[in-house]
Copies of this chain bind each other. A is one copy, B any other.
């Protein structure tokens, strides 16, 4: 089963808890798991698991420092999302252009 490269990204962002974690990392910058757990309404293991998913999607990066792990958002990972959206808009525009072109030719 082939899975397109967008799949991990979309799936990672689908969960509200995960989006919230990522949003907080974007808003407030690098944070430890403990800091992220406070404020998330789920247990620490749940937070760790979510961070794992985000990491696999390339949305976050982890940095180990002593016994704590600092996570930070990787904004660049959102690029495929922007590309995909642009592509959809492009398809739409393309069809529009084609229609416009057709009407123009009919007008002559």
Which residues of chain A have a CB within 8 Å of any CB of chain B? Answer: 3-4, 6-7, 10-11, 13-14, 16, 19, 22-23, 26-29, 73, 75, 78, 81-82, 85, 88-89, 91-92, 95
A16 in complex: contacting residue of B4, B73, B92, B95, CB < 8 Å = B4
How many copies of this chain does one complex carry?
2
* Chain B residues with CB below 8 A from A89, complex form: 75, 78
* Chain B residues with CB below 8 A from A10, complex form: 10, 13-14, 19
- Cα A8 to Cα B74 in complex, Å, equals 24
- Cα A82 to Cα B83 in complex, Å, equals 11
Asked whether B7 lies within 8 Å of A16 as measured between CB atoms, the reply is yes
A78 in complex: contacting residue of B4, B75, B78, B88, CB < 8 Å = B88
**Nearest CB in chain B: distance from A76 CB, A:** 10
The list of the 10 closest CB pairs from A to B, nearest first, reads A14-B14, A26-B91, A27-B91, A26-B88, A75-B92, A10-B14, A11-B14, A10-B13, A29-B95, A78-B85
| Chain B, Cβ-Cβ closest to A7 | B16
Asked whether A81 lies within 8 Å of B78 as measured between CB atoms, the reply is no
